Amino acid sequence: MAKQLTSRKEDYSKWYNELVIKADLAEHSAVRGCMVIKPYGFAIWEKMKAQLDKRFKATGHQNAAFPLLIPKSFFAKEAKHVEGFALESAVVTHYRLKNQGDGNIVVDPDAKLEEELIIRPTSETIIWNTYKNWIQSYRDLPILINQWANVMRWEMRTRLFLRTAEFFWQEGHTAHATKEEAMEEAKLMQKEYADFMEGYIAVPVIRGTKSESERFAGAEETFTCEGLMQDGKALQMGTSHFLGQNFAKAFDVKFQTKEGTLEHVWATSWGVSTRMMGALVMAHSDDEGLILPPKLAPIHVGMVPIYKNEEQLNQIREKFQHIGAQLSNANITFKIDDDDAKRPGFKFAEFELKGIPVRLGLGPRDMENGTIEVARRDTKEKSSQPIENIATHIEGLLKEIQTSIYKKADDFRKANTTTVSSYDELKEVVDQGGFAVANWDGSTETEDKVKEETKATIRCIPNEGGEADGDCLVSGKAGKHKVLYAKAY
């Protein structure tokens, strides 16, 4: 069979690309840098969405939808924002095509737009332009809105899920009367993200604050969730920004306080994207294929009948359906693969490639003994279990798998997080992959120097343990924070 994946050890990057395609998560489209998310991949994304959406609503947010296109002039209003996105903006300049007559369709030069429109790379500007009309008084605040949308950033180098020109995400945009409240909101969303990533994607994340140079364009503070992938590179999985009054000032959004004064509104924005799909793949999977945490797996249990003739198949299928009914009662999803054109070994491999957490094998031998073969994807362990109450066994097993996957990722992260005591050691650690924890003098110069010499960046100042306890390893100056350095995606 030609389905063998390149191993992680041989070429991690190739392994990732092949796995995303072979496991049917996504594929390249005809458009540069834009992917097609296939049904299996989208089903996982939908599970992520459902859980996040629930959390957003539980914390008081509502969904809304804003336009895909943003007038160019809006970007000019916030200086840092435009600087951050100018180089990757897709621009709409015309609104009509015309047939030249010889079958060639051309852009109609007479249909040039008065003002060009930018395909949103993020929606702060159009949203703040809208909020201006919604906010007059302190009674109109806070505004807590989220939108599920696609955005476009014309990236130079793209990779499926990790960095695509078009990607799907959610972006929360909130408006508050006080700085404290906005800050609270930004931190709350970081916590919601981190809890989701750890509890569902089963990837432990470092919660921290970005250094100035890594901050979102237009933010005063960026809170991040940093994950560590199997190749030792860090991945920014989600960010939440305290925007201060920058956008309120840029779009002149003021409100009247209880005391009658006029003040600018305080803002936050926060987002997670389909990039989390990349994290899911890179954090857990192995050379046989995906390993999905049960909480996000579209199919929990794959069932493979083993038979010699139709009579046996019918008996086994009936048994599977019976088990399936019990699983459904426990909200466990399953698939019976009774495709006669494929043999059992093929189906085993296929379920492994797709990362289905539990596989059941049932044949004449089991039928006689009243047992069933249960295989778990993450550890590849197989055991023979009594067929009675198998649903209960599986329910427990799925929980165990969820915990076990997280623990494995957490152990990996711990094993690859090193507190370093010299610049040489820092270089060594980031070079072999992983987080290097070190004191930093707080200067951009130091950060730039490390980046140039090691290709590692400051991933964040961690929320816990971010206090300096010594001098900066690079400059020798007094340490301002204790930070995590790593090479990143």
Residues engaged in binding RNA (CB under 7 A): 1-4, 13-14, 17, 28, 31-34, 84-85, 87, 122, 153, 155-160, 163, 167, 169, 210, 214-217, 219, 222, 239, 241, 271, 273, 275, 288, 306-309, 340-341, 343-346, 348-350, 352-353, 359, 361-367, 373, 375, 380, 382, 455
Smallest distance from RNA to CB 345, Å: 3
Cβ atoms of 226 and 235 within 8 Å: the answer is yes
Closest CA to 354 of 12, 25, 35, 49: 25
Question: Where do runs of H (alpha helix) occur along 355-389?
Answer: 364-369
Could you write out the DSSP letters of every residue in 142-202? -EEEEEEEEEE---SS-BTTTB-SEEEEEEEEEEESSHHHHHHHHHHHHHHHHHHIIIII-
Closest CA to 240 of 183, 186, 182: 186
Smallest distance from RNA to CB 346, Å: 4
Residue 274: Cβ within 10 Å count? 24
Compute the distance between CA of residue 486 and CA of residue 489 in angstroms, rounded to an integer: 10
Q: What does DSSP assign to residue 2?
A: T
Smallest distance from RNA to CB 312, Å: 9
CB-wise, 373 or 400, nearer to RNA?
373
Compute the distance between CA of residue 102 and CA of residue 121 in angstroms, rounded to an integer: 36
Closest CA to 225 of 243, 240, 244: 240
Smallest distance from RNA to CB 124, Å: 10
CB-wise, 106 or 156, nearer to RNA?
156
CB-wise, 85 or 131, nearer to RNA?
85
Smallest distance from RNA to CB 289, Å: 7
Smallest distance from RNA to CB 306, Å: 4
Please, which residues have CB within 8 angstroms of residue 265's CB and are 6 or more apart in sequence? Answer: 131, 135, 141, 175, 176, 177, 245, 248, 253, 254, 255
Compute the distance between CA of residue 363 and CA of residue 353 in angstroms, rounded to an integer: 22
CB-wise, 260 or 370, nearer to RNA?
370
Question: Where do runs of H (alpha helix) occur along 370-443?
Answer: 390-415, 423-432
CB-wise, 278 or 479, nearer to RNA?
278
Q: State the angle between helix axes of 179-196 and 39-58 in degrees (0 to 180), rounded to the nearest 10.
A: 140
CB-wise, 210 or 439, nearer to RNA?
210
CB-wise, 273 or 285, nearer to RNA?
273
Closest CA to 473 of 425, 432, 431, 433: 425
CB-wise, 261 or 309, nearer to RNA?
309
Compute the distance between CA of residue 118 and CA of residue 153 in angstroms, rounded to an integer: 10
Q: Which two tokens stand for residue 399?
A: 């929980």
Smallest distance from RNA to CB 77, Å: 17
Q: What does DSSP assign to residue 271?
A: E
CB-wise, 138 or 348, nearer to RNA?
348
CB-wise, 192 or 468, nearer to RNA?
192
Smallest distance from RNA to CB 471, Å: 27
Smallest distance from RNA to CB 157, Å: 4
Smallest distance from RNA to CB 219, Å: 7
